[in-house]
Structures are given as C-alpha cells and as structure tokens.
Structure 1
Amino acid sequence: MVGHRRSNWIGIGTLLLILIFVSCEKETQESAAVDSVTATTDYTQLVSSTVVVERAALRPTLFASGVVKGQHEVLVKARTSGVVNSIDFSLGQQVEQGQTLVVLDDTIAKLSASQISLQVQNARKELDVQNQLYERGAISLSMLNQTKSALDGLEAQLERAQETLRDTTISAPIAGSIADEGISLILGDTVQAGQTITRIIDLNEMRIALSLGQSQIFFVQEGAKATIEIMTPNEVIRAEGVVGAVSSGSDSRTGSWTTFVDFTNPRPDLIRAGVSANVTIKNDLAPLHPLVPNAAMVNREGKTYVYVKQENSARLVEVEVLDRYGDLMAVEPIDDSYDLVGKEVLTSGLSRIDDETSIVTQYE
C-alpha cells in the first residue's frame, strides 16, 4: 500500500516538471517573435490610405425626375352647339385620326346652309345681269360693285354655315388613346361651343417635363442623350431618350427651367401619361480634370494642397480647386509641369503628416 502511494506521488511530480518546462519554452518563443517584429518595424513611419487620381468628368451626368406625358396630346372641344345624337368612343379606346367621336343634331345647320346656298345662287344670277347692263351703260360702276359686295357677303355666310354643319360631327384630330371623357356628355343633352368632349394621347411617343434649377441648367443641351427609368411593382422599365427642348427663360413662379426629354414608349400597354420617371441626362461636353476625394484636401496658410505618395514619403503639392461635386473635387496643380493623373494621394492621417514625412500605405 505504501509503495503504491509513493509511485503515485512520483508520477504527479514528473507531470508538473513537464508542464513547467513547456511553459518556459513558449514564453521564450513569444519573446523572440516580439523582438523580431520590433527589429523590422520602423515606428517613425505614419500609416495612411491612398487613392489613385484619375482624369475624368466631375459631372458626367445629371439626375432629375418628372412626370410622363404624351408628345402629342389634344383636348377635343365642340366647335358648335347642338344636341348629342350619338357618342362613339369610350375611355381607354384606341382611335384613329379622323374617326367620329360624337355626332350632334344637324337639322338647323342643314337648313341654314341650304337657305344661304339659295341666296348665293340668286346673287350670282343677279350679278350676271348687272354685268350685262353695265356693258351697255345702263348702270353705273358703283351699282355693279354693290352687287359684287353683296355676293361676297353671302358667300362668306355660306362658308360659315357649311363649317357649322361639318362641326356637328366631332372627329379625332390625331390617332391615340382616349384619356378621359368630357363632363356631362350624355345622349340627348346639349353641348355648347367650346365644351370639352375628350382628351386624346398618343402613347407611342412620350415626353417627360423636368424642372431644373440654376445649378443644373448649365449642364443640359438640346440633343443630349438621356436614360429613363420607370418603376413598376414588378419591374423597372428603361428607355433611351433625348433632350428635346430647354426653355429660354425660368418660370417666374418657381425659378426653374422647363426641360423636355422625349422618348419612344417601350411599353405602351404599361406606361401611361401621368406616371413618374427618373431621368439621367448625359453631359458629353463636361470638361475632364484630375479628380481627388474631399478627404485628400489639405489647407495650409490659405493655400490648398494634396499629399502625393512618392516611394515611402509624402510630397506636398499645391493645387487649385476648379469645382466640387459630392465627395470629389476637380483640381489642377499650380505647377503646370506636374501631372497628378496616375499618382496616389493620401486620404487619412493628414493632420500628422508634413512634407517629406515617411509613410506606409494601408495595404503595404
């Protein structure tokens, strides 16, 4: 029994000696690793992130939104008064140019035209007689001219009467879709001259009306290409368009400039007048400049600089800010012989950096 206990204590002592030996060996290795890192790291260098400078347009596109409408829209109005005999269209119907929409009672218009037509015929016969009498010297030139004047007046009345008769049939002036119906357009009711009958929209060629502010209008020209996006619950419909017109003056109420972007409707079955659309207008004439992030700019004693990475140090380069937009700035070096394009500019830790400061970049 005593020998067995002595054997257990010997085993436990051996295990403790092994654990102490392993622990000392691990501390020695860690100490050696720390000494190695310390020896290879220069703690006088500052760590900074960089961005490569590119020459590009600061404002290559312009974003705006507006409401879609038809390039060709008309309000159809009655040009004469009359009782509605028939209504030959319905909401949403596709109609062709010249198609009959409404027919008004033409009884009075026909009688009026017929009466004046007979008066014109009689006046022409009277003028023939007057011409013969004038040639024989039986009447004066003044009397002949009075007869001619009376005929001219009757012919003008006949033209108006015939026009009124034609206006009793109201037709579609353009091909398109019926957008709405006139108020109180009921069979048997009387419509008045000037009353709206319907609105017709050609859904094949559409237009977006944009209201642009002063900061935007300088970057838009007629003929510029544009991309249109219309969001629907199931998909995003895209189309290519062009700037069709830019107003020559601002709206006195809003101070904005109206700009039309025209496009061919890719989905006439879905895209209708009144929906909202996002428009991206391309600015092909935008000037190209070196672009740097706002975070790279340094202001020292009233001047503007950027730090350029040169091997393992930072070089302070004075620049002129030409324009700024979003998170970028368009700049040019004060020294015309120095080219920023392709260089790396520092964007972090700038408050601790001076000219020729030793640096390492974030990923070195």
Structure 2
Amino acid sequence: MRKSRPILWILIIAAVASAGYYGWRKFGEAGKAQSAQNSGPRVPAVPVSVATVDKTDFPVFLTGLGTVQGFNTVQVRTRVDGQIDKIAFTEGQMVKQGDLLVEIDPRPFQAALDQAKAKKAQDEANLANANLDLQRYTKLGEFATRQQTDTQRSTVAQLTAQIAADEAAIANAQTQLDYTQVKSPITGVAGLRQVDIGNIVNASTQTGIVTIAQVEPITVIFTAPEDQLPYISEGQKAGALKVLALTTDGKKTLAEGKLAVINNQVDTTSGTIRLKAVFDNKEHTLWPGQSVSTRLLVRTLKDATVVPDDAVQHSTNGLYAYTVNQDNKAEVHKIKVSYSIDGRSVVDQGLSPGQQVITGGQFKVQPGSVVSTAVASSDPGQNKVQQE
C-alpha cells in the first residue's frame, strides 16, 4: 500500500504536465492563426499624380490657321517702252519709297522734250511779232481798218493758246522722260528680278520688273467660326483684340499683333468669317506667303476654376475627375467643362478651388481606392514631380 503512493503521484504529475503541454500548444497555434489573420494580404496604395484645382483668370483664345500677306504688295511695271540700261537694286533688298529700281534708255524721251521746248520758243517768237503788229494797228487809229485790228487781236490770242499747248506738251514729255527712271512706290522687300539689262520692256504688256512687299507692318489673314462673331464684335468695342501668330505646330510664338478688320460677310460654304490682324514685324519673323497658327484673345474669364487637361476623364455618362480626400482615398466627381486651352480646362461645375485632382494613374483607380500621391505642377509647361 505504501509502495503504490509514489506511483500514484508520478501518474498525477505526468497527467498535469501533459495537460499543460497540450494547452500551451493550442494557445500557440491560436496565436499564430490570429497573427496570420492580422498580417494577411493588404491591397497596396495606387501611385498617382495630383494637382491643385486653381482659381485664376483664364484667357479665352480662338485658334485657327492663317496666311501672312504684305501690308502692301506692288508689282512694279514700266510706264514707257524702251531698253533697260541699268538695274539699281538687288533681289531681296529692303528698298525705300522713291529709290531707283531700273533705268530705261532716256534718249528718245529727251529728244521729244527738247522738241517740245523748241516748239514753244518758236511760238513765243511769233506771239511777240503779233503783239507788235497789234500795237501798230492800234496806233494807226482810223488809218487801219477795224477788220485788220480785230484779225490781229485774234492772231495774238491764237498764239497765246498755242504757247499754253506747248507748255502742256513739255510737261508730258518731261513726265515720259521721268518714267524712264522706275522708282519704288513703297518701302518694302524686293523680290526676284523679272528682267535683265538689255531687255526691251513695253508698257502694254503684263510682264513686271519686280514685286515689292511691305513687311513693316505686315498682315495675317485668318478665319474664325461664325458662332464666335458676337464675342469678337463685343470684344472689339473695348479695344483692339490681341492676336498671336505662331508656327504651324503651335510651339513657338512668332509675333503679337492686333485685330484690324472683320470681313463684311460670312462665308456660307464654310461657316467662317475672315479676319485681318496687323503686326509691327520689326524682327521680320513673319514673311509674305507664310502659313501660321493664330490665337485670337476674345475675352478673359475672371476667377475661373481651372484644372490640368489630364485631370478630365471621359465616359459614356459624360466627363468626370478623381479627387483625393484627407484619408488619401479617391473620390469621383462628375464635371462640366466649358473651355480647354493650352493644357488647361475651365470647370464650370463639379470641383472647387483647393481640391486635389488626380492627373496621372487614373486607369488603376476606383472610387474609394487608397492612393499614394505625387504632386504635379498645374502648369502644363512644367514637368517636375515631387513625391510626397
């Protein structure tokens, strides 16, 4: 009986140890399960770029295509017939009004002028003699018949009129002689020469000598949609509207000018109105015949809500944009856009100044998605991005 007690205690101790081990094991497995549950797979944040919704003045431009034209363009022709003796200009030269361009053989015209002057001298001598005869008849009184006196007065009057005709002939001959020196009628750039020394030119033909285009100032002819005509006319009442001329790709501004003329009728076939802008063109960045892109500043919207174009998304239900709230979660907003120019859009409804809009990475974003943001400049000309 005494020997069985130690065995009983051994069995009790073993049972307690087994129960403790089993409990410890179960507790460890439960802890691991809970830890595994807590550290289960997490949805990573979506990387996006964001920009701030701005409240600023927004210039409204009408874009179009235009053609540069000389402010004045003249095809210089001869006004007399003859052989070219001298060419006094260089192709591409800037010539001033009154500069000599071409000289035509003046000898036939000089001879005609000398002949007209000689004829006048002859008639003046005859008039002087007729005046002397009239004085004699007048002094004779009753010894000279009235008919003789009247006839002599008529002769004097005829010779006086003849001298007046001679003076007109001299003036015409002088004008023809002056025409042998062909001068520039305007200040501008001379084009390619169409004649050479020794060529015979004729006033009755359409062949010109050279074309001169005035480039300071210079004009651009362009078009605008007819539905914008009321805004253009309204803007003109406040002053000349600003016009920008750019390269055809729109990347470089060439000159800044003013709207000068709105055409007097709309082109019904295209639904556009022709406009003319004038540019000082001191640097000669515009050239006749050049094609340019144009931007006409119609008006400026005050305190407009502006976002980058990249923030505006399209769907079958219309336009929308994602914003990021304080919890870094994406929210979707339906928006209305009125203008989109130079990488910026005017939002009339759906967004407020100061909000953060997503401008990049939207294809991975869903409403409520957690996002990690990188701040992009709202200026489309700036490409730098700063990671938050």
| TM-score, scaled relative to structure 1 | 0.60
For residues 339-360 of structure 1, the C-alpha deviation after alignment (integer angstroms, 9 at most, x for no partner) is x99799xxxxxxxxxxxxxxx9
How large is the RMSD of aligned CA atoms in angstroms?
A: 4.6
Determine if contact 1:239/1:266 at 8 Å carries over to the other structure. no
What are structure 2's unaligned runs of at least 5 residues? 1-21, 43-51, 139-145, 314-335, 355-366, 371-388
- 1:103 equivalent in structure 2: 103
Cα deviation, residue 201, structure 1: 2.4
Amino acid at match of 2:108: I
For residues 139-165 of structure 1, the C-alpha deviation after alignment (integer angstroms, 9 at most, x for no partner) is 356555544443333322222211111
- 2:200 equivalent in structure 1: 190
* Residue 324 of structure 2 is aligned to residue 277 of structure 1: no
Amino acid at match of 1:239: A
For residues 284-306 of structure 1, the C-alpha deviation after alignment (integer angstroms, 9 at most, x for no partner) is 4x7889999999xxxxxxxxxxx
Cα deviation, residue 88, structure 1: 2.2
Based on CA coordinates, which of the two structures has the bigger radius of gyration? 2
* Residue 254 of structure 2 is aligned to residue 238 of structure 1: yes
The DSSP-based 3-state class of the residue aligned with 2:265 is coil
* Residue 60 of structure 2 is aligned to residue 68 of structure 1: no
Cα deviation, residue 254, structure 1: 6.7
Counterpart-to-counterpart distance in 1, 2:346 and 2:249? 33
For residues 73-128 of structure 1, the C-alpha deviation after alignment (integer angstroms, 9 at most, x for no partner) is 32211111111112222321232332221111111111111111211232344445
Cα deviation, residue 192, structure 1: 0.9
Counterpart-to-counterpart distance in 1, 2:290 and 2:191? 13
CA separation of 1:324 and 1:114: change in aligned 2, threshold 3 A: same
Determine if contact 1:90/1:178 at 8 Å carries over to the other structure. yes
Cα deviation, residue 219, structure 1: 3.0
For residues 10-37 of structure 1, the C-alpha deviation after alignment (integer angstroms, 9 at most, x for no partner) is xxx9xx9798435521465489x9xxxx
- 1:112 equivalent in structure 2: 112
Cα deviation, residue 189, structure 1: 1.8
Determine if contact 2:304/2:346 at 8 Å carries over to the other structure. no
What are structure 1's unaligned runs of at least 5 residues? 1-12, 34-50, 296-320, 332-339, 345-359
The DSSP-based 3-state class of the residue aligned with 2:247 is strand
2:168 to 138, 152, 156: 156
Determine if contact 2:244/2:253 at 8 Å carries over to the other structure. no
Counterpart-to-counterpart distance in 2, 1:26 and 1:118? 128
Counterpart-to-counterpart distance in 1, 2:188 and 2:306? 51
Determine if contact 1:133/1:139 at 8 Å carries over to the other structure. no
2:243 to 226, 240, 254: 226
The DSSP-based 3-state class of the residue aligned with 2:75 is strand
| TM-score, scaled relative to structure 2 | 0.57
How many residues are treated as equivalent by the alignment? 279
Counterpart-to-counterpart distance in 2, 1:196 and 1:273? 19
